[in-house]
Amino acid sequence: MYHKKYPEHDINIVFEMLSESLSHGDCHEKAASELHFINRLFAALPAEAVEYGMRFLHGQTDLPSSCDGIMPLYVRFSNLVEYSDKIDFLRDIPHAPSNEQILYRSEILSTLDGHEKVFGSDLLGYRMNASVPESGIDPADVKSNEEENEGSSSLHLMNAAAQVLPCKDPLKTSLFYETRLGFTASHLDDESMPHIKLTRDNLSLILVKAAGDITRPFHEQSDIKYDLYIYASEPLLLYREITSNNVNIIEELADAKDAVKQMTNRQFVFEDIDGRYICVSQLIEQA
């Protein structure tokens, strides 16, 4: 039994409620990292599996056998929600508590250790990287696309794509993407077109040196609003990371509740060092 009411289907709102609760502090030092860890794992799941996780949160345990392999994630998710719920309840101290209230609060307080003991432990073969709490998952422990597709009967003739960004000063642009946006750079000059390759998660960008109008952002030349689209499973996490690095935000991220009323996906827009407008849009998985 929770003290607060949680949505039945929208897991993004639940994560925002958890983030708001844990941001006040006075909780376990690994609680916030546990939140990012679980959030990232859910972001990698198809929409149907996420929906089953929400059903488990609301007490439904007769889930299909296909959920057996990820049941530990559902349990950890419910454990964190219950922990956050209890923390919020304990923060609201009655002015003149009765003996029953004091006993109840003491009883809840004694259960917190049971929730906290799993924070930071391995889950589904993944390990939380304590040195990178915003990322939640150690990149070295994340399965690559090749590993996930191993044994697949289909042959992908087109494996990946990379956006080419013409820059007046690729080194300057690369430094911005590395220090502000978390990309890793590879300086390549052994191919037919010397360039800098930027990678992060499943995204690759190619920086090439150029001059003239080709380096100007699209929104300065035409009615095209954005120079690049990035689809994110959880835009809130990326939004907080980018804003903490003092990146210029052109369009703010709408609250999850307000985004339901919008005609577009939930999104925000930021500006890179060359003036490009980059839209980060909610990735909508198909069940």
Tell me, what DSSP letter sits at residue 248?
P
| CA–CA–CA angle 148, 119, 27 (5° rounding) | 140
Model pLDDT, residue 255 = 74
Residue 146: the pLDDT is: 42
> Domain residue spans in the chain?
11-139, 159-212, 216-287
Q: Provide the token pair at 113.
A: 């250790």
216-287, which class in CATH? alpha beta
Q: For 34, left (φ over 0), alpha (ψ -120 to 50), or beta?
A: alpha
CATH topology identical between 159-212 and 216-287? no
- Residue 135: predicted pLDDT: 37
Structure confidence at residue 104 (pLDDT): 87
Which residues of the chain carry a pLDDT beneath 50? Answer: 131-154, 286-287
User: Which distant-in-sequence residues (6+ apart) come within 8 Å of 207 by Cβ?
Assistant: 165, 167, 170, 173, 174, 195, 196, 197, 198
- As assigned by CATH, the class of the 159-212 domain is alpha beta
What is the chain's percent helix, strand, coil content, to nearest 5?
45, 15, 40
Sheet containing 195-200: give its strands across: 163-167, 203-209, 195-200, 184-188
Over residues 66-125, the pLDDT tens digits come to 899 999 999 999 999 999 999 988 888 877 778 888 888 888 889 999 999 999 899 888
